[in-house]
Structure 1
Amino acid sequence: MTTQIQPGQTYRSADHRETIRFRVTAYTPGDARAHVVDATTGKRPRQVLVNRMYTTPRTKTGQPRRSGYVLETGADQ
């Protein structure tokens, strides 16, 4: 799970076969879901489970993630 989810962060699918990218628009710490929109168009609002959002593309054992979403850019970048 991510250490700090903030509005403005961009995530991509960990599955290399998918092209899903989204931007976080709202998140309240402690909530199970973050509100997101398409990263390119800003459309298609939806909610994503925060336990599927990761800061690194690798697992604790060093294997590439195959599911979930990986942080691309942070809100302050």
Structure 2
Amino acid sequence: MSEIDKRNRLGEEPFTYQTTKKGTVIISYEGKQIKIVKDAEAERLIAKIKEVEDNAIEVQLLLAKITRNFKRGNEKVGKNNRK
């Protein structure tokens, strides 16, 4: 078991990405857009993804690292999802 992904969350592949014609990378988590990467940072990300594209876990790890630590429990609850 990897020390980075102890709960095997990246194995479920929660992150997805799309590359636009302008070279922008749109990253989503469980279907919700969470980050847009542009310019030089997007070029570096695309290059890194192409290096490890045959390993899904490595791609997921790259996407998780670029989004940083976005889930900290303070996300706003949707109007229809309040308890």
**TM category, shorter:** 0.3 to 0.5
Higher relative contact order (CA 8 A, sep 6+): 1
TM-score normalized by the length of structure 1: 0.34
Would you tell me which structure has more helix in proportion to its own residues?
Answer: 2
- Larger strand fraction of residues: 1
**Largest Rg, 1 or 2:** 2
Structure-2-length-normalised TM-score: 0.32
